[in-house]
């Protein structure tokens, strides 16, 4: 389906915003007529005005003060929107046409339209603002306003997100959607403030699988000793170790070179990342381990959030959520197309995998997290979701 602006439902707050603007315009009109009236009456009869001013001064209600107050109020009305108006910087390490980047652009369109161009979002893709480990930090300190990032890549900074990236937590895409679209998802988004972020929405990321350069992975044993690149994430490193592999933390942008230079034997990712990054050319064995379905998340820096009015916050949140619907419409066909492209380029897909064996080997990660009283109830609620 093609996403058009027209297909975005006009929500109540847009109508409310219209009223608010109208009210502002009436205030402005009132203040201007007040000033005009004062100006005209002083022109009409300067002597009488002078006498009136003296009287008012004596009675403590100076006309000058009224003039001043009116002028200040007018300036406030005129200047306030301009001072708030702002271009927000959004980071996404994926390429220009990747669905997450397109979704951020949709978010920009919605924000721009609904704030009547007071705010907009400039999307920096392809690691223009750095790799994810850097953009997380920059978002925390407020140098980046919005960040689209994978939950694993921010899990060290906001451990609650590691729950969503636990191996074999989700039984299916539907299970994942139920969780992230429902109250649990809203709760997790709302729980990021203590870590310095504001969660706006989740985007799809499909399932991640392991791909290798020299020998295919069919069983857990096949991973023994293979050097597998992982995101900057303690949990992902532990996961590869639990499977007998050797985890190597590398930025996304360096995987291609590391594969070519034989510094790593493989990596793990979803179909669209495997293909758009070109890794399929260096690592032609894709094993459908589907070990995690950790989604992408759109976060905002606390600093940028604090600058927004309540009304604008509602606009940003709704825009992020609506852009995620767009993203989901794209995702399935992106997965299918990417897989087809890889296969036609000669990639071997290992889809007969004993996933139970992978699940058993990685179970200690889940069990360790279950011992943490902060996360145990959340994990159990996610698992119980039907
Ligand atoms: C992708 C994800 C990126 C990044 C990357 C990686 O699936 O969209 O945000 O985390 O994986 O493996 O570094």
Closest CA to 215 of 205, 202, 225: 225
Q: From atom 5 of ligand 1, which residue's Cα is the shortest distance away?
A: 252
What per-residue confidence (pLDDT) applies to 1?
A: 36
Secondary structure of 93-155 as H, E, C letters: CCCCCCHHHHHHHHHHHHHHHHCCCCEEEEEECCCCCCCHHHHHHHHHHCCCCEEEEEHHHHC
Q: Best substitution site from 252, 255, 286 to test ligand 1's pocket, by max atoms within 8 Å of Cβ?
A: 252
Quickly state the pLDDT bin for 182 (edges 50, 70, 90): very high
Q: With residue 331 as reference, give the H or E element that holds it.
A: helix 310-344
Average pLDDT over residues 180-188: 98
| Structure confidence at residue 208 (pLDDT) | 98
Domain count, the chain: 3
pLDDT above 80 (res 48): no
Asked if 246 and 356 sit in the same domain, the reply is: yes
**Judging by DSSP bridges, how do beta strands 119-124 and 86-91 pair with one another?**
parallel
> What is the distance between the terminal CA atoms of the chain, rounded to a whole angstrom?
28
CATH label of the domain that carries residue 224: 3.40.190.170
Question: CA geometry: angle at 199 spanning 310 and 115, to 5°?
Answer: 40
Does some domain include residue 16? yes
Does the structure show a pLDDT above 90 at 181? yes
Residues 143, 258 share a domain? no
Task: Report the C-alpha dihedral over residues 329, 332, 336, 338, rounded to 10 degrees.
Answer: 80
131 in any annotated domain: yes
Asked whether residue 59 is domain-assigned, the answer is yes
Ligand 1 centre and the CA of 41: distance in Å? Answer: 68
Report whether residue 211 contacts ligand 1, using a CB cutoff of 6 Å: no
Q: What is the mean pLDDT of residues 204-232?
A: 98
Percent of residues, the chain, with pLDDT higher than 90: 78
Q: Which of 60, 83, 106 is the last residue of a domain?
A: 83
From 90, 95, 132, give the residue whose CB has the most ligand 1 atoms within 8 Å, as the site to mutate: 132
Q: Is residue 14 domain-resident?
A: yes
Q: How distant, in Å, are the alpha carbons of 4, 40, 43, 226, 331 from that of 52?
A: 61, 15, 13, 91, 73
Contacts of 283 (CB under 8 A, 6+ apart): 211, 212, 213, 259, 266, 267
Whether 268 and 329 share a structural domain: no
pTM of the full structure: 0.81
> Does position 346 have pLDDT exceeding 60, yes or no?
yes
User: Do 93 and 186 sit in the same domain of this protein?
Assistant: yes
pLDDT digits (tens, 9 = 90+) for 256-300: 999 999 999 999 999 999 999 999 999 999 999 999 999 999 999
238 and 328 both lie in a single domain: no
Residues 260 and 180 in one domain: no
CB-ligand 1 contact for 338 (6 Å cutoff): no
Same domain, 178 and 229: no
Do 284 and 246 reside in the same domain of the chain?
yes
Q: Is 270 in the pocket of ligand 1 (CB under 6 A)?
A: yes
Q: Which of 20-24, 82-86, 156-160 is predicted most confidently?
A: 156-160
For residue 116, give Cα distances in angstroms to 81, 90, 206: 11, 19, 35
Same domain, 288 and 306: no
* Residue 252 within any structural domain of the chain: yes
Residue 119, pLDDT above cutoff 90: yes
Single residue among 49, 83, 117 that ends a domain in this structure: 83
DSSP E strand stretches across the chain = 86-91, 119-124, 146-150, 197-203, 208-212, 227-230, 246-249, 266-269, 285-292, 296-301, 348-350
128, 196: one domain: yes
Strand partners, 227: 246
Please give the mean pLDDT across all residues of the chain. Answer: 86
Angle 6-331-236 from CA coordinates, rounded to 5°: 135
Confidence category of residue 386, pLDDT binned at 50, 70, 90: confident
Q: Let me know if residue 162 belongs to a domain.
A: yes
| Domain assignment of residue 2, yes or no | no
Q: How far apart are CA 178 and CA 33, in angstroms?
A: 55
pLDDT at 241: 98
Domain of residue 74, residue span: 8-83
pLDDT of residue 333: 97
Query: Which residue, judged by its Cα, is nearest atom 3 of ligand 1?
Result: 150
pLDDT at 2: 35
Query: Considering the chain, what percentage of its residues have pLDDT values greater than 70?
Result: 78
pLDDT digits (tens, 9 = 90+) for 322-331: 999 999 999 9
Q: Domain for residue 3, yes or no? A: no
Residues whose CB falls within 8 Å of the CB of residue 75, separated by 6 or more in sequence, listed in order? none
DSSP β-bridge partners for residue 89: 122
Which atom of ligand 1 lies at the shortest distance from residue 251's CA?
Answer: 13
- Residue 101 CB–ligand 1 contact under 6 Å: no
Highest mean pLDDT among 26-30, 60-64, 70-74, 246-250: 246-250
pLDDT for res 85: 87
Pair (65, 16) in one structural domain = yes
> Which runs of E-coded beta strand occur in 153-203?
197-203
pLDDT(41) > 50: no
Same domain as 59, residue 15: yes
């Amino acid at each position: 389906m093609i996403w058009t602006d027209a297909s975005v439902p006009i929500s109540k707050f847009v109508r409310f915003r219209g009223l608010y603007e109208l009210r502002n315009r009436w205030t402005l009109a009132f203040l201007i007529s007040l000033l005009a009236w004062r100006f005209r009456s002083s022109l009409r009869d300067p002597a009488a005005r002078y006498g009136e001013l003296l009287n008012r001064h004596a009675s403590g209600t100076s006309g000058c003060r009224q003039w001043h107050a009116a002028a200040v109020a007018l300036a406030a009305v005129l200047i306030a929107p301009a001072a708030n108006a702002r271009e927000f910087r959004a980071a996404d390490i994926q390429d220009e046409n990747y669905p997450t980047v397109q979704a951020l652009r949709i978010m920009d369109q919605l924000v721009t339209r609904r704030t009547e161009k007071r705010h907009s979002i400039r999307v920096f893709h392809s690691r223009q603002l750095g790799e994810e480990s850097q953009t997380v930090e920059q978002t925390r300190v407020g140098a980046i306003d919005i960040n689209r990032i994978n939950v694993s890549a921010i899990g060290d900074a906001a451990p609650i997100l590691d729950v969503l990236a636990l191996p074999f937590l989700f039984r299916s895409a539907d299970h994942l959607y139920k969780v992230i679209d429902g109250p649990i998802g809203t709760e997790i988004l709302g729980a990021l403030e203590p870590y310095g972020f504001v969660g706006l929405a989740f985007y799809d990321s499909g399932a991640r699988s392991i791909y290798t350069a020299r020998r295919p992975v069919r069983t857990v044993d096949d991973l023994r000793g293979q050097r597998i690149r992982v995101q900057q994430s303690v949990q992902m490193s532990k996961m590869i170790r639990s499977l007998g592999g050797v985890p190597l933390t590398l930025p996304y942008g360096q995987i291609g070179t590391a594969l070519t230079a034989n510094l790593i034997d493989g990596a793990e990712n979803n179909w669209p990342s495997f293909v758009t990054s070109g890794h399929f050319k260096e690592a032609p064995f894709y094993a459908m381990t589907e070990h995690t379905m950790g989604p992408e998340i759109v976060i905002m820096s606390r600093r940028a959030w604090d600058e927004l009015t309540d009304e604008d916050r509602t606009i940003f949140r709704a825009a992020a959520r609506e852009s995620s619907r767009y993203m989901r419409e794209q995702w399935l066909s992106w997965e299918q197309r990417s897989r087809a492209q890889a296969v036609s380029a000669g990639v071997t897909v290992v889809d007969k995998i004993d996933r139970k064996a992978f699940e058993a080997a990685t179970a200690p990660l889940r069990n360790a997290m279950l011992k943490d009283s902060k996360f145990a109830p959340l994990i159990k609620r996610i698992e119980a979701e039907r």
